[in-house]
Structure 1
Amino acid sequence: MLRPFVALLAALLLAGLPLKLMAAGFDHVARLADRGFAIGAQAQMLDSGKVLGEIDPERRLSPASVSKLYLAAAALERWGPQHRFTTRLVSSGTLDGQGVLQGDLVLEGGGDPALTSEDLWRLIQGLRQQGVTAVNGDVIVSQWRFGPVECITTDRCDSRWRSSNSYDALLSSAGINYGNWCASVLPGARVGAPARVMSCDILTPLVEMENRVTTVATGQNTRLEAERVTRDDVDRLVLGGQIALNSNQHPLYRSSSDPGRQTGLTLLALLEQAGVEVGGGHATSTTPPPSSSRELAAVESETLQTLLLSTLNHSNNFMADMLSLDLVEVPRASLVQAGRTLERFAEALPGHGPLTLLSGSGLTTENRTSARGVNKLLEAMYRRAALFPSFVAGMQTPANGPMRFIRRGSEVFQHHVMIKTGTLNQPFAVRSIGGYFRTRSGRWGSFSVLINGNHSTPYLSWSEVLDPLAQDLTAMILDN
């Protein structure tokens, strides 16, 4: 009597229908389907290949910032953990006997995703060591490798004119400070006085500041907001809110409208502060420096493994997309080209299957991959002994990761899981997770859970995802 039922069940399983019966191992996560969310999930042991649980594992869904795992893997595969990016000051001019550089000074962007004002100071120090005391020419920022990069998401496109965020920074191979302006807000001298506002990295602010922040009594809450607006190619930070009299300084970061121009302004100001007089102004260029140029100073980035630690741990979109653009072998790279480079890398992984990556950051919901695909990526990196330590180091353990929202679930989940999360809220909710786990006996496993909403699904908090996931993974870890 059981044979017809068994045959029917087998047929349904082979057909790949998303039955709840197929959610074995992800019983708690599967309940989100009842609320209209699309789910793809898979967990496996890496030594045996045994699948511990899955839900529609080949369904292609938006991974949000889990996309950064593809970028990290491709970058490590291409360059290795010790690779560094070089930014140079060059010139085709000559240095006369008075220390005057007769010609333009060119900053050649090397695609360093973590170039800062401090690095510009180091370049200027190198310039002074060459005997340069003045520049009889312009300061030119060469972003010939890439930049300005065409935007492909609403947030970045809108940030050309205004921004209330730091994550939507535009991209340039010569960008500094993650494409952000920084204002430091301090309390005024007394209650009711305007707050004091300064630049975080230079004596004289390079961006106009409209200060609407007031000082309130000690013990009151500090509440600050900021928006960057741009008119006639001039950036202005509009600051509002209140700051308590006893408060320490509060930095506020907002993306600039043009990272190449931001670098030029900053370099010009720092040269003047260092006593290097510049006869001309500043400009940006999309062409390489003249072939006759010689190097006057250079600064190297941190190693790739250190850059990836920041990129993954803090889910830094600017760094991820910069590194993706660095992977493109032709100049004037676009995000679409960077995405295709990542796609080719992923599709070459054994068993991965097709995917769509428009960027390495995952800022767009148009990125698509499957839970099985993410697991194939994780498995491939696990088997690359020379790269795996640098790859897994960028993931967070819930017990002590920098993002507090993941500190949930059982003690087993807290201490035996290493994860990268992805979050988007517009145009629909995305909550995604990929990573590794270790059993009590030291065996390694990998897992991926992709959850996508739609225009009619409710808001999905991370607790509604992490709590059931922690229950499911805890059971898998203890059973293996």
Structure 2
Amino acid sequence: MTNQTEGMMRISRRMMLAGLLAGAAFPAAAEVMESSPRPMARGGKAAVVPAAKGPLDASELIAAAKLGGSVAYVLMDARTGELLEALGPDLPLPPASVAKAVTALYALEKLGSGYRFQTRVLATGPVTGGMVQGDIVLVGGGDPTLQTDQLGDLVLRLAKAGLKGATGRFLYWDGALPRLDGIARDQPDHVGYNAAIAGLCLNFNRVHFEWKRVSGDWQTTVDARGERFVPEVGMVRVAVAQRETPLFTYGRGRVEEWTVASGALGKGGSRWLPVRDPGAYVAEVFRTLARAQGIRLETGERVASVPPGDEIGRVESEPLPEVLRDMLRYSTNLTAECVGLTASGAGGLEASGRAMSDWVRATFGVGFDLHDHSGLGGDSRVTAAGMAKVLVQAGREGRGLQQILRDVGMKDDKGKVIEGHPVKVLAKSGTLNFVSGLAGHIVPPQTSGTPGRELVFAIFTGDPARRDAVPVAQREEPEGGKAWTGRARRLQGQLINRWAALYD
């Protein structure tokens, strides 16, 4: 394969990733909002160490943001670890998706930068005349990035090699990771960012639901579409119900049954809906793709362990740093949980979160209380001082995240990115309902070949009481949530602008 082809495949996969993560169809389908935290203590008065004078006063900026709840931040010198400014540095707050930065460091140490997830196809007997004399087994390796086009290409390779079917069964194994219905307990059924988890994953464990009005009636389809393959899915059904609310209802069974309110559909549209049995979903899509290429397989059967057999095909993910780069860029919750669970080897999210917390304490001397790897759940707690210390120490030891963190940009007073600004802000953001965080590096330009002073920061804000008043059914986009998040992000940009001016 040429480098140009490899590059085109990588771009294609990232374009597909962006499409999968874009909530289409409903005004409230912003698939970047995440779950919410428990109540937490309010922050104290700002303590600046030392007291810094500048064009903008941090206390005035915080008051103007009118967020309520708590605001905490820490600013450190990236090289020396010197504390420059702090407000509520030791106040435990929910990290939201900023937790993914910790997960990235954890995974890189535990799995290594060369690690790739694998999805394999085994034959339990010899292949004679294109027929496996035994069973065909689809073996998941916990790859959270697997997409339909990759699965379709795997099937094409098998068909070109002459495979026609098996004399035995079609089996699948999804036990590389624990099987979980979702990441967080307090989310609406229909939100795709609260994904189910298993050792077999596909399209971030979501199906594509599309509808259009035809001759006064609704025409609906459910599929696992990629860019080149669009296999239909039978294990998920969506019916249109003549009502205004609720938006969706869900019933779990062998077939996952959804209804959607007709009053929300307009003339047509689409969105991605979660599946709660990812292993069965991947097996069905694989079988459908195989049958389209003349490979006859029976309905898949889940097995508790991988039977012995010879590998006849596989799909590998990108190397771990690329997987993590996309995780940090698109804030994919499923990727964070699959990566973290693979790194810990634990049997559930709580145990895996504890394992990562123990690693943070042993490695950085910081007491985090993490209950998952994505930050989607509301129980996790970190401190601004602890987060900044982790980033400083990791950077000084040469294992920092600067190479894979996204440049979120310097922003003006209205929160808009200043195009072409010489200062880079390499950071991970996090958003829950009425909770917002940002942590990373402020990297100045080089002057006459001499690098400027790099800074590390962590900012956490939250109003949990307001979040707790929101009914679960409305937590995808609660009233006032978008405006609150906008004010929080504007405050983050103002603080970073202030720091870049004061400590350049």
Query: What TM-score range do you get, normalising by the shorter chain?
Result: 0.7 to 0.9
Task: Indicate which of 339, 344, 352 corresponds to 1:323.
Answer: 339
Q: CA deviation digits over 1:102-152, x for unaligned, max 9?
A: 222111111111012222223223333443211222222212221313756
Matched, 1:418 2:426: yes
C-alpha separation in 1, matches of 2:148 and 2:425: 37
1:398/1:236 Cα in 2 relative to 1: closer, same or farther (>3 Å)?
farther
Partner of 1:286: 304
Structure 1 portions without partners, runs of 5+: 1-16, 215-222, 401-405
Q: CA deviation digits over 1:450-475, x for unaligned, max 9?
A: 12323258966123222333233212
1:388/1:449 Cα in 2 relative to 1: closer, same or farther (>3 Å)?
closer
1:233/1:437 Cα in 2 relative to 1: closer, same or farther (>3 Å)?
same
C-alpha separation in 1, matches of 2:432 and 2:177: 26
Q: Is the 8 A contact 2:65 2:488 kept in 1?
A: no
User: What secondary structure is seen at the aligned counterpart in 1 of 2:363?
Assistant: coil
1:28/1:93 Cα in 2 relative to 1: closer, same or farther (>3 Å)?
farther
1:398/1:122 Cα in 2 relative to 1: closer, same or farther (>3 Å)?
farther
Partner of 2:485: 462
AA matched with 1:204: E
Shift of 1:71: 0.5
Partner of 2:497: 474
AA matched with 2:409: T
C-alpha separation in 1, matches of 2:115 and 2:207: 28
Shift of 1:339: 0.9
Q: Is the 8 A contact 2:67 2:488 kept in 1?
A: no
Shift of 1:203: 4.1
Partner of 1:70: 102
1:150/1:414 Cα in 2 relative to 1: closer, same or farther (>3 Å)?
farther
User: Which of 1 and 2 has greater Rg?
Assistant: 1
Partner of 1:341: 355
User: What secondary structure is seen at the aligned counterpart in 2 of 1:272?
Assistant: helix
1:306/1:205 Cα in 2 relative to 1: closer, same or farther (>3 Å)?
same
Q: Is the 8 A contact 2:344 2:356 kept in 1?
A: no
Q: Is the 8 A contact 1:64 1:432 kept in 2?
A: yes
C-alpha separation in 2, matches of 1:416 and 1:339: 31
Partner of 2:142: 111
Partner of 2:200: 174
Q: Is the 8 A contact 1:183 1:198 kept in 2?
A: yes
1:397/1:33 Cα in 2 relative to 1: closer, same or farther (>3 Å)?
closer
C-alpha separation in 1, matches of 2:352 and 2:196: 15
Partner of 1:403: none
User: What secondary structure is seen at the aligned counterpart in 2 of 1:277?
Assistant: coil
Q: Is the 8 A contact 1:33 1:39 kept in 2?
A: no
Partner of 2:234: 206
Q: CA deviation digits over 1:423-477, x for unaligned, max 9?
A: 222xxx3211111112355321111011232325896612322233323321221
Task: Indicate which of 417, 421, 440 corresponds to 1:435.
Answer: 440
Shift of 1:274: 1.4
User: What secondary structure is seen at the aligned counterpart in 1 of 2:404?
Assistant: helix
User: What secondary structure is seen at the aligned counterpart in 1 of 2:331?
Assistant: coil
Partner of 2:89: 57
Shift of 1:33: 10
Matched, 1:260 2:294: no
Partner of 1:277: 296
Partner of 1:390: 403
- Matched residue count: 429
Shift of 1:346: 1.3
Partner of 1:308: 324
Partner of 1:127: 158
AA matched with 2:273: R
C-alpha separation in 1, matches of 2:292 and 2:465: 52
User: What secondary structure is seen at the aligned counterpart in 2 of 1:360?
Assistant: coil
Shift of 1:293: 1.2
AA matched with 2:328: L
1:412/1:277 Cα in 2 relative to 1: closer, same or farther (>3 Å)?
closer
Q: Is the 8 A contact 2:207 2:274 kept in 1?
A: yes
Q: Is the 8 A contact 1:409 1:470 kept in 2?
A: no
Structure 2 portions without partners, runs of 5+: 1-42, 53-57, 470-479
AA matched with 2:206: N
Partner of 1:444: 454
C-alpha separation in 2, matches of 1:414 and 1:40: 27
> Percent identity between the aligned chains?
21
1:281/1:196 Cα in 2 relative to 1: closer, same or farther (>3 Å)?
closer
Q: CA deviation digits over 1:4-23, x for unaligned, max 9?
A: xxxxxxxxxxxxx9334548
Q: Is the 8 A contact 2:111 2:343 kept in 1?
A: no
**TM-score scaled by length of structure 2:** 0.76
AA matched with 2:355: T
AA matched with 2:495: D
C-alpha separation in 2, matches of 1:42 and 1:412: 26
C-alpha separation in 2, matches of 1:226 and 1:93: 49
1:102/1:147 Cα in 2 relative to 1: closer, same or farther (>3 Å)?
farther
User: What secondary structure is seen at the aligned counterpart in 2 of 1:349?
Assistant: helix
